[in-house]
């Protein structure tokens, strides 16, 4: 089962299946945890969290709690890992057999729990739809599943699909008929209309596996019920995304214009003023008495040094507000350049840790994360007296997180209430993309700045076009 989860993450294989079976059996029988400890630490932690939730129900629920565990675990594992085709089905079948439960009824209970899990509800809508279809193919008697809509031009468009030949002409024809109000399934092709405002909005289709497809319609009914609010949320996101990206783009245009204005205005004036100052120093030195020449020359050098420092500061500002670095390079590389510049300028030790795949971020997301890093590092340089600063970039199926931590002097967080151009301003930019900024600090205890953005993908081809044009 692979609903495009964590690219580059290896299949979990037989070790996970054994772990699922052992833990489910222990929950069902009321025994202590039977985890083998052979899985990677992050995967063990994921299963442990699912087990803790299930054991809260274990008293009096026994095998029901074990099925809840399996449903939660299948989704939680699929979020950041992946099953090879058939692995999830084999693991659930073996666990159900160990529990002594009817396989078909138990698989359906696991499927329903998976769709009701917190992890499923928190997924971006398009990813949740992919995962729902993957679960249908894995746990239901289905060979393929697909979700269809009518696009703006009136064409039948497949949003997501899974399994063997999920976009065949036959399935397209059945989807079109269902969206036109005619449900024309068959013994092998099952269809369920997903409604919005009491009208057909999407068609959920599945092709059965031979004689095993007797209960496939029940799976589609449950999936349609779970997907309806997600598709509604997706449509809201699609309508918001253009406005949000336009706001971020407008802010970037203003910053770029400010950079040009600095370069063409004050910086050129400073160059001219420095030249006039050198000329004035040379002229004045010819009329100043010998005893005062060194003092006057020293004063002029002091003024020239302050002018040079002002010129350098303005050039740094003009460079920092350009978004070219953030967009032209991968996010991790752009952040690494900022850390290297800080280290070279101040001697502060820096480190960067990257987890997950960041290649799917939009330009707006890249720019906003880059701005957070710039503002946090600027505060480190100016105010923190820190010796070390670390940056963590973490990408998960549901969110991307940036954390900047320093070991400096910290500050009173109440100061943020009057901060309009610094961290508070950055928080507003993150909020425009649906995210949030958290700042943990107190005097003498260092500072942690954490920005979290939702992973979002357009749910329709039309929204994808807008997304590409505004990113």
The sign of the dihedral angle between the CA atoms of 370, 373, 376, 380 is negative
Supply the CATH classification number for the domain 329-471: 3.30.565.10
Superfamily of domain 124-241: GAF domain (3.30.450.40)
Same fold, 124-241 and 329-471: no
Burial of 272 by CB count in 10 Å (0-12 exposed, 13-18 middle, 19+ buried)? exposed
For 115-170, write each residue's pLDDT tens digit.
Answer: 998 888 888 888 888 899 999 998 988 999 999 988 777 888 898 899 888 888 88
Position 391 scores a pLDDT of 96
Token readout for 124 is 């971006």
User: Which letter does DSSP use for residue 386 in this model?
Assistant: -
Residue found under tokens 């995967």: 43
For 242, the 3-state DSSP assignment is helix
As a whole-number percent, the residues of the chain with pLDDT over 70 amount to 80
Interval 182-201: pLDDT, tens: 887 787 889 999 887 778 88
Nearest C-alpha neighbor of 129 from the set 452, 358, 457: 457
- How far apart CA 231 and CA 449 sit, in angstroms, is 33
| CB contact at 8 A, 109 and 71 | yes
Domain boundaries, the chain: 1-121, 124-241, 329-471
- The residues near 153 (Cβ < 8 Å, ≥ 6 apart) are none
Task: Region of 181 please: left (phi>0), alpha (psi -120 to 50) or beta.
Answer: left
Q: What is the mean pLDDT of the chain?
A: 80
Q: What is the mean pLDDT of residues 25-48?
A: 80
What is the 8-class DSSP label of residue 382?
I
Among 89, 123, 134, which Cα is nearest to 107's?
89
**Tens digits of residue pLDDT in 342-379:** 898 889 999 999 998 888 787 778 888 988 998 899 88
- Torsion sign, CA atoms 2, 104, 124, 147: positive
**In this structure, what token pair is assigned to residue 448?**
């942690």
Distance CA 225, CA 245 (A): 31
Q: What per-residue confidence (pLDDT) applies to 260? A: 67
Residues in the chain: 471
Residue 274 has pLDDT above 90, yes or no: no
**pLDDT of res. 228:** 87
Claim: this prediction has a pTM higher than 0.85: no
Cα(79)–Cα(108) distance, integer angstroms: 20
């Amino acid at each position: 089962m692979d609903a495009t989860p964590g690219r580059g993450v290896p299949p979990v294989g037989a070790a996970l299946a054994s772990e699922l079976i052992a833990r489910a059996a222990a929950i069902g029988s009321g025994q202590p945890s039977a985890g083998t400890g052979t899985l990677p630490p992050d995967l063990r932690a994921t299963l442990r969290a699912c087990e803790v939730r299930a054991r809260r129900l274990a008293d009096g629920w026994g095998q029901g709690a074990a099925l809840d565990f399996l449903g939660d675990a299948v989704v939680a594992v699929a979020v950041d890992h992946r099953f090879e085709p058939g692995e999830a089905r084999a693991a659930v079948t073996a666990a159900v057999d160990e529990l002594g439960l009817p396989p078909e009824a138990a698989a359906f209970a696991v499927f329903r729990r998976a769709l009701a899990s917190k992890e499923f509800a928190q997924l971006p809508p398009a990813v949740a739809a992919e995962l729902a279809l993957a679960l249908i193919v894995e746990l239901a008697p289905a060979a393929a599943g697909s979700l269809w809509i009518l696009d703006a031009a009136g064409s039948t468009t497949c949003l997501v699909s899974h399994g063997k030949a999920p976009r065949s002409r036959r399935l397209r024809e059945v989807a079109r008929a269902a969206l036109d109000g005619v449900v024309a399934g068959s013994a092998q092709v099952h269809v369920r209309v997903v409604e919005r405002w009491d009208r057909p909005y999407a068609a959920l289709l599945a092709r059965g596996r031979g004689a095993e497809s007797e209960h496939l319609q029940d799976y589609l009914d449950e999936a349609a019920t779970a997907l309806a609010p997600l598709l509604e949320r997706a449509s809201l996101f699609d309508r918001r995304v253009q406005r949000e990206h336009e706001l971020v783009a407008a802010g970037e245009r203003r910053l770029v214009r400010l950079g040009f204005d600095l370069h063409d205005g004050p910086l050129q004036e400073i160059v001219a003023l420095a030249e006039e100052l050198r000329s004035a120093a040379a002229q004045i030195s010819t009329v100043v008495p010998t005893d005062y020449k060194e003092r006057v020359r020293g004063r002029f050098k002091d003024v020239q040094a302050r002018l040079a420092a002002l010129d350098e500061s303005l050039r740094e500002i003009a460079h920092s507000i350009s978004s070219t670095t953030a967009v032209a390079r991968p996010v991790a590389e752009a952040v690494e350049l900022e850390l290297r510049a800080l280290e070279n300028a101040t001697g502060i030790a820096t480190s960067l840790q990257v987890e997950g795949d960041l290649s799917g971020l939009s330009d707006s997301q890249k720019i906003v994360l880059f701005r957070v890093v710039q503002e946090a590092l600027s505060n480190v340089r100016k105010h923190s007296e820190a010796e070390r600063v670390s940056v963590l970039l973490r990408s998960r199926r549901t969110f991307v997180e940036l954390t900047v931590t320093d070991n400096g002097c910290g500050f009173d967080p109440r100061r943020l209430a009057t901060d309009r151009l610094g961290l508070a301003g950055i928080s507003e930019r993150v909020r425009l993309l649906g995210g949030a900024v958290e700042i943990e600090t107190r005097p003498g205890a260092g500072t942690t700045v954490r920005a979290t953005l939702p992973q979002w993908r357009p749910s329709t081809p039309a929204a994808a076009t807008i997304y590409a044009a505004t990113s």
